[in-house]
Amino acid sequence: MKHWSASVSAGGDEAARHAALIAAAQCLQVDAAGQRWNVYRPGDLEALWRQMGEADFGPDERIPYWVELWPASLLLAKWLGQQQERIRGMTCLDVGCGLGLSACVAATAGARVVGLDYIEDALHYARANARENRVATAPLWVQMDWRWPGLKSGGFDVVWGADIFYEKRFASPLKQLFKEVLAPNGRIWLAEPERSVSSGAWDQLREAGWEIRLAAREAVPTEGYAVVINIWEAQLTR
Ligand SMILES: C[S@@+](CC[C@H](N)C(=O)[O-])C[C@H]1O[C@@H](n2cnc3c(N)ncnc32)[C@H](O)[C@@H]1O
């Protein structure tokens, strides 16, 4: 089975495909990093859930979480905007990029960004979102399963992800991925809500030699309530 594709291209008449995708999409508006972002998606999680078939469930359950802008990605987008001086010119990886907001914010701040997700549809919307928001140097969108990465070893100065530790089984492959792709002295930013399912992941990372510190913590308003999001900064010490 092929687990990655180097870059997801819209193919064919890109302008026409882009226009059709945008015309049929819902638009979410987000203010981040001094800019209003129009983030397009096909519908909400409930709508996509209704379209799921039996093959989408089972041990490798693929719930279309990519279709939402999670509170973690809103704080990560803000954080990346604040880190402009640190990421400008850096080669960066956005793991589980979903609709592409955080990747687009970082690219606008001057980072060279690869946005990775294993859902091809997500990357089509991420690509369209970069175009709609006039991101000058758009991220490279890569369809890849983080359990079987095909990325250059030590190729990234900064690696980040928003809300990617939501299942226990993700901790081990993500730990491997970080170790594999991060350049010496590189750093990781993980924006995560506080959940018991992910708390063990920080212990696993510490045991593997990562030094982890809390870099930011904020209650992010979302649909009538607020979710506390932490941004963890991690560096490999051995
Ligand atoms: C909860 S969503 C977060 C999306 C986005 N970062 C945000 O916060 O709005 C998790 C993302 O990880 C992606 N994902 C889950 N498992 C993956 C895997 N094995 N390889 C690559 N991407 C994966 C999903 O498709 C989804 O886009």
What would the pLDDT profile of 66-96 be if each residue is shown by its tens digit?
999 999 999 999 999 999 999 999 999 999 9
Bridge partners for 36 per DSSP? 31
CA–centroid distance, residue 117 to ligand 1 (Å): 6
> Do 86 and 101 meet the contact criterion of CB atoms below 8 Å apart?
no
Q: Is 126 in the pocket of ligand 1 (CB under 6 A)?
A: no
The three state secondary structure string of 129-155 is: HHHHCCCCCCCEEEEECCCCCCCCCCC
Q: Distance between CA atoms of 104 and 134, rounded to whole angstroms?
A: 9
CA–centroid distance, residue 66 to ligand 1 (Å): 6
Q: How confident is the model at residue 198 (pLDDT cuts 50, 70, 90)?
A: confident
CA–centroid distance, residue 145 to ligand 1 (Å): 10
Q: Is 81 in the pocket of ligand 1 (CB under 6 A)?
A: no
Q: Is 103 in the pocket of ligand 1 (CB under 6 A)?
A: no
Please report, for the chain, the start and end positions of each structural domain, with discontinuous segments joined by +.
4-236
What would the pLDDT profile of 23-74 be if each residue is shown by its tens digit?
999 999 999 999 999 999 998 898 888 887 777 766 777 789 999 999 999 9
Mean pLDDT of the region 106-125: 97
What would the pLDDT profile of 148-168 be if each residue is shown by its tens digit?
999 999 999 999 999 999 999
Per the listing, tokens 């954080």 go with 79
Q: Is 70 in the pocket of ligand 1 (CB under 6 A)?
A: yes
CA-nearest residue for atom 4, ligand 1, is: 98
Query: In the CATH scheme, what is the homologous superfamily, with its name and number, of domain 4-236?
Result: Vaccinia Virus protein VP39 (3.40.50.150)
Q: 183 φ, ψ to 5°?
A: -70, 155
Q: Is 72 in the pocket of ligand 1 (CB under 6 A)?
A: yes
pTM for the structure as a whole = 0.94
Please name which of 77, 73, 55, 75 lies closest in space to residue 65, comparing C-alpha atoms.
73
Residue spans of alpha helices (H) in the chain: 14-23, 45-50, 71-82, 84-87, 101-108, 120-132, 171-181, 196-207
Strand-pair category, 225-236 with 210-222 = antiparallel
Please name which of 148, 146, 158 lies closest in space to residue 183, comparing C-alpha atoms.
158
